[in-house]
Structures are given as structure tokens and as C-alpha cells.
Chain A
Amino acid sequence: MRSTAHSFKDNAKAAMADPQLRRALDNVKTGFIGKRAKAAARLPEFEALRDASRAIKVHTLDHLDLYLERYEKNVLAAGGHVHWCESAADARAAVLEICQRVGAKTVTKGKSMICEEIALNEHLEAEGMIPVETDLGEYIIQLRHEPPSHIIAPAVHLTKDAIEADFRQAHTQFPKDRPLSEPRHLVDEARQVLRTRFLEADVGITGANFLIAETGSSVIVTNEGNGDLTQVIPKVHIVVASLEKVIPNLCDLSTILRVLARSATGQEFSTYTTVSSGPKRPEDPDGPEEYHVILLDNGRTQMLGNEFREVLHCIRCGACMNHCPVYHAIGGHAYGWVYPGPIGAVLTPGLIGIEEAGDLPNASSFCGRCESVCPMRIPLPKLMRHWREREFERRLTPAPVRYGLAAWAFLARRPALYHWLLGLEMRVLGALGRRKGRFAWLPFAGGWTRHRDFPAPQGKTFQALWAERQGTRAP
């Protein structure tokens, strides 16, 4: 998708002015947070499992070459194919080549953020194929020609009423007076529409939550079972996954799965956890005839070697955005590209460039709630700060901020001058503000006073008063 991350502030402003979106986002605040807290509290070893899960990722990334090669060997041994793709374009080309070779028309898709990252749907459509999203949320936003606004709940920005209107407009095959006001009605209707699509599909494309080196398997977790129908019914199953999804073995999988669903939705386990290992074998009752894995780098090996390595621990549970007050205020679309929220603020500049996405790692109050709930303990604020450091080094930080910082640092590094000059300023401000106790407007403080008053200082500084109390004169 085309990024609008460069107009983040405008996107955010528009989002905050949308009352429908604000209502939808209230559901994020009330739903996900309480459910995760309850699920974590019910499991005494939850914190220990977070540590163990993190350790698995640390170990795997330390030996990524070894595990990727082992994974490939085992995929091949099971009769599958692995396509190593450096860029999004390589990955799109590899998928297209397979689809064209088998003469695909309808391509069903399980929910996959990587497919969003490489803009696969647009590409397949341009080549005359019909990609059909089969996850309910993804299906809804595909009808609306929108990107997902959340990594596990792509249509979380929508209310039930909005979805009903979309269904009435898109599904003209059903009676106009049918009941559609309840979630159940919407689910049943989507299911009815999608069922025929599953049977028509020539190729099924899924993402992967994990790739298992030991067995050459890909693993998806879903709540709707759509992923299974996507990958089992068509003749060809294509898995699109980025290379940091690999973990050593099924034991590690069971450890991380215990924190994944709890962190994401507060479920103990997702409804479906599906392990696929290669194409259909002669003794299997069903399954695809061809099994392909598109193994995508797209900038990740760069991050493996720099200060952003820990972002590769992410298991895409969405807990960081579920708990983020900035996300709650603006929703996912304002971030302007595929990955919203705190993880997007770190990942997006790494994938599309800090010049394009510079606002994202800055748009955080560093409240730290994301890090406190991340099952993999990714230090998201620290990584956002690293992006700010890169911006500052490259002089991409906006000029007013740079000059303001420089002036302030000049003073702060000279205590005597600092105390004298700011002491004087506070006495002036204190005298001016004493009657009202606050300022509705101050020069150079528009960012503050546009929305709030500026409390007046008390007058003399602590240092001045302390010197008086010590019986010495302030220098």
C-alpha cells in the first residue's frame, strides 16, 4: 500500500474528529485490556513464560542462518518449495509466477500482515486474478478498499452499523429486508458468501505465525477456521512469511503459543492452531498438491545487524497497540502504513524509511505501557528513541525542535548562567501570572496553550529560595 505516514499529524487530526471512529476505539480500550489482564492473572507462570518466549527468540536470532537452512531442508524433504525473496517485489513476483503457472483465477487468502506489507492483493488484481480475503475482518475491509487498522483485528475501527451498511451494498444477491443488525447475522452472511469462494479457489495464500525449523512446518493461529479452508481446499498452498518467523522446534512453539493468545485477545488458546508440513502425501485424505513458502527478508537482515534487532522478536499479538493511549486516540489508519501502534512506530521506519515515517517513533509519550505488556518484552520506547537518535544525527529532526533543544542545552550545561537567567525569567513570569495563576497564551508556547492553560510559576526559583534559606546570596 502507498504510505501516508508522512502526513501522520493530519491523519491523526482527521481521525480524532471522526466520532464513529472514537466510538469504535472505545471498544479497544474496554475489551482487549481487561481480557488480557484476566488471562495473565489466571496463569501463575505467565511472566516466566514471557521470559522463556523471549529467550527462544533471542536464541533463534543469534543462530538465524542455521535455523533458516534447517527449516528449508525440512520443507524440501516434505516435498515443498522455498522461495528466498530479498524484497517485496521479489516476493510478489514469486507468488505471481506460481499463480500464473497453475492458471489461477480465484485466490483465497488467510489473514496475513506480510501480504499487506508486500501489497499482494493490488498486484494480483492488476494481473487479472481475484484475491478474496477470508478472515471476517479482512473481508470487511477488502469490501471497503481499506487497509487494516489493527494487526489482529483489522476492522476494529468500524462499528457494527457501518459493516451492516457495507454488506447491504455489496451482497445484492440477498433479500433487501433481511435482518442484519446482529453480529450473528453478519457472520452468517459472510460465511455464506465465502463458502463458495473457498470451493472456487485455485490457490490459497496464508501467512505464518511461526515456521518450525525442526519439521519444516508453517503454523497459523486463527479463530474462524478460515485459514484451514484457505490452505487445505485449493490445489496450491502458498505461505508468505518473513524470515524472523522461524523458531527451532514444536516445544518452543508450545511455549510461545501460551503467551500469544493470552496477550492478544485474552484467550487461553486461539480456536484453531494449524500446523502444515508440506503438500498432501499419498495417504492423506486432503491437502494441497503444491506447497510453497515465500521467505521474505524485506529489510529484516538489516535490522538483525543494528540497534533494532529486538523488533524481530515480535509475534504480532497486538498487545502494544491495544494498550497504547496514542493508538486509542487516533486508531490504526493514522499511522499511514501497514503496521500501526507502537510496533509500527518502530518497524515502519525500518521498512519504508525514516524520511517517510519520521513522525511515528516521535508520536509517543514514552508511557511504557506497550513494553509492560509485550509478551516478548520488546523495549519499544527504547527502540523508538533509537529512531529519534538517527533522525537527530541526520538532522531530520524539525528545525524548531533542534534549535529549541540547542538553546535549552546551552543553558542547562552552564548552571550559573542557567540559574541567573531562568531565575530572572521566572520572577517576571511569576509576577505577570500571579493574579490569575495561569496564562491562556504565551509566546513560543502555542503547542501548549492551544489546548490548555500554562500554570504560572510561583516566582522565585527553588535555588534562589534555598540560597536565601542557607543565608547565602544567590550568585
Chain B
Amino acid sequence: MPKEIAPPARVGLFVTCLVDLMRPSVGFAAVKLLEEAGCAVEAPRAQTCCGQPAYNSGDRADAQALARQTIEAFEGFDYVVAPSGSCAAMIREHYPALLAKDAAWSARAERLAVRTYELISFLSDVRGVTGVAARFEGAVTYHDGCSGLRELGIQAQPRQLLASVQGLSLKEMPDADVCCGFGGTFCVKFSDISNTMVGDKIASIEKSGARTLLAGELGCLMNMAGKLKRTGVQVEARHVAEVLAGMTDEPAIGEAGGD
């Protein structure tokens, strides 16, 4: 069991704004996985958003303010873990650059950056988790979120953990590593181009033959789920943490709630 592999650790869960607001069940799946990996999890209430929308829109002042707010909220934890590659990369790769010229904050940004991880890679690479005790019947396909893949090198870890889920088979789609067209504000600022990109992605997903689409990034998942629903493709979209935690009772993203 993972508990025997690594010592207990205090983890600050950076829930991410999308998971907090749109799909809290992903946050609870993350908590379950982290606790199973021997972590004590807290979710500081002073957190909101990592600042990516401002940062990627050229608004450095607001991005810096949110970086400072996030750093303050998470100082003191052994690790900061986010169920998102792009938010983790924002803290890990971009906070130090964003605050590099701020003498009072650059060292604090650096210290937080090196302790910040995306959830699945944290479980694999830091906590030594090699398998989970979950069950999921059916074929899934996995989309590599761009930031997680190219900024944090997350590719093998989710596939390795998915391989341990009983009943699950992974059917790779072609071009799993190609952007789905989300890109934060890009998808609304360049709606038509984003639409072509997500259309191509849906075609790739269909080619996999899987009925469930997984990814580690809720923004991408909402984009792809929204397009799957609009075009009537019968594929359900879920965050990979939900499946790994065995928490798939909630309707999939964009699916009807039932009542």
C-alpha cells in the first residue's frame, strides 16, 4: 500500500477555480486519492484562481496579485497539489518568472513552485503510487492536456494508474497530444478556430472507439464534453481523478442529473 512507501505529508489542495465552481466532485476525488496516498489534505479558503486568465491576457498586475494571494494561502504546506496540469504549471513554471523582479516575493514564489504538483504526477512521482483500488467497466480514451504534457511532462503517469483500474481498458485516440482548442480565453476570443480544433479532437476521440473520455484538465474536458453533447456523440467525459478514485456516481460532465 502507498501508505507504507512514503511518510505522511501535509498537502494543500489547490482546488482550481473550475473544479471549485463547476465540478467539486473532482476535488473530492483528489482528496480521496491523496488521503489514500498517505497525505493529510487541507483546502485553504483563501484560494480562488491561480491567475492564468490574467497572465495569458497580458494583465501582469492582476496575475501578480493573484500569485501573491495564492503563495500566501499555501505557504506552510509540504506540497501544493492541483487536479490540473495548467494550474500546477502556472504556479510551478510561471510564478517565479512573474515575480522575479519583486524582491519581497521572488524567493517565496520559488519555494512554492518547487513544492507544487499536478495531482496524478504527484501520486506517481512523489508518493510512489503504482496502482489504485478502483473499478470502472469499459473502454476509456485519454486526452493529454497541453500544459501538463509539455510543461510538466505528464504522459505516462495517468496511463500507468489507469492500467491498474479493474475492468478498464485504455484505447488510445490518434493525436492524443494535440490541443483540444480550449486554451482558456482563446476558446471564446477565437471561437471559430477553437471550434475547428475541438471538431478535429472529437473525430479523434470517435476513432478510439472508447465510450468514455478522460483527461486531467477540467477546462479541456468542458470544451470537449460541450462539443460532444452539441454534436450528439455518445461519449461521456470525466476527469481522470474521478475514475482513479472510483467516484463515478455523479453524472459525467454535461450529462443530465436525472431528477
Complex interface: chain A residues within 8 A of B185 (CB): 401
| Secondary structure call for the B interface | helix
Which of B22, B28, B250, B259 is packed against the most chain A CB atoms within 10 Å?
B22
Q: Are B146 and A451 in contact (CB under 8 A)?
A: no
Complex: A406 Cα to B198 Cα, angstroms: 28
Q: Which residues of A contact B15 (CB under 8 A)?
A: 462-463
Instruction: State how many residues of chain A have any CB contact under 8 Å with chain B.
Output: 68
Give per-residue flags for B162-186: 1 if the beta carbon is below 8 A from chain A beta carbons, else 0: 0000000000000001110111111
Residues of B within 8 A of A445 (CB): 188
Q: B193, A329: Cβ atoms under 8 Å?
A: yes
Q: Does B139 contact A (CB under 8 A)?
A: no
Q: Are A452 and B197 in contact (CB under 8 A)?
A: no
What's the minimum C-beta distance from A412 to chain B, rounded to whole angstroms? 4
Q: A13 contacts the other chain (Cβ, under 8 Å)?
A: yes
A447, B66: Cβ atoms closer than 8 Å: no
Across the interface, A451 reaches (CB within 8 A) one of B54, B177, B182, B198, namely: B198
Chain B residues closer than 8 Å to A163, beta-carbon distance: none
- Count of chain A to chain B residue pairs whose CB atoms are closer than 8 Å in the complex: 215
The verdict on B138 contacting chain A, using a C-beta distance below 8 Å, is: no
Interface residues in A28-68 by Cβ distance below 8 A to B read none
Q: Does B58 contact A (CB under 8 A)?
A: yes
Nearest A residue (CB) for B20: A462
Chain A residue nearest to B226 (CB atoms) is: A452
Q: Give the one of A329, A369, A385 with max B CB within 10 A.
A: A329
User: In angstroms, how far is the closest chain B Cβ from the Cβ of A438?
Assistant: 4
B218 (CB) vs chain A CBs: closest residue: A455
Contact B191 A422 (CB under 8 A): no
Encoded as 1 (CB less than 8 Å from any A CB) or 0, chain B from 11 to 49 comes to: 000010101111111011000000000000001011111
A368 with B147: CB separation less than 8 A = yes
Q: For A415, what are the chain B residues with a Cβ–Cβ distance below 8 Å?
A: 45-48, 69
Contact (Cβ within 8 A) B192 A13: yes
Q: Which of B187-202 touch A at CB < 8 Å? A: 187-198, 200
Q: Are B151 and A460 in contact (CB under 8 A)?
A: no
Which residues of chain B are near A426, meaning CB under 8 Å? 21-22
CB contact list, A332-376 vs B, under 8 A = 362-369, 371-372
Whether B189 contacts A453 by the Cβ 8 Å rule is: no
Asked if B254 is at the interface (CB within 8 A of a chain A CB), the reply is yes
B223: interface (CB < 8 Å): yes
- Is there contact, CB below 8 Å, between B66 and A458? no
Q: What 6 pairs across the A-B complex have the smallest Cβ distances?
A: A365-B183, A447-B188, A388-B58, A452-B226, A392-B58, A462-B24
Contacts A437-B254, A458-B22 given; 12 further ones with Cβ under 8 A? Answer: A330-B196, A362-B189, A385-B58, A392-B60, A397-B57, A405-B53, A405-B62, A419-B45, A438-B225, A455-B222, A465-B24, A466-B27
Interchain residue pairs with CB less than 8 A apart (20): A12-B190, A16-B196, A325-B178, A325-B200, A326-B190, A366-B147, A367-B179, A369-B179, A405-B53, A408-B54, A409-B54, A412-B62, A413-B66, A415-B48, A419-B48, A437-B257, A451-B194, A452-B223, A453-B227, A455-B229
Q: Which residues of chain A have a CB within 8 Å of any CB of chain B?
A: 9, 12-13, 16, 325-326, 328-330, 362-369, 371-372, 385, 387-393, 397, 401, 405-406, 408-409, 411-413, 415, 418-419, 422, 426, 434-438, 440, 445, 447-448, 450-458, 460-467, 475
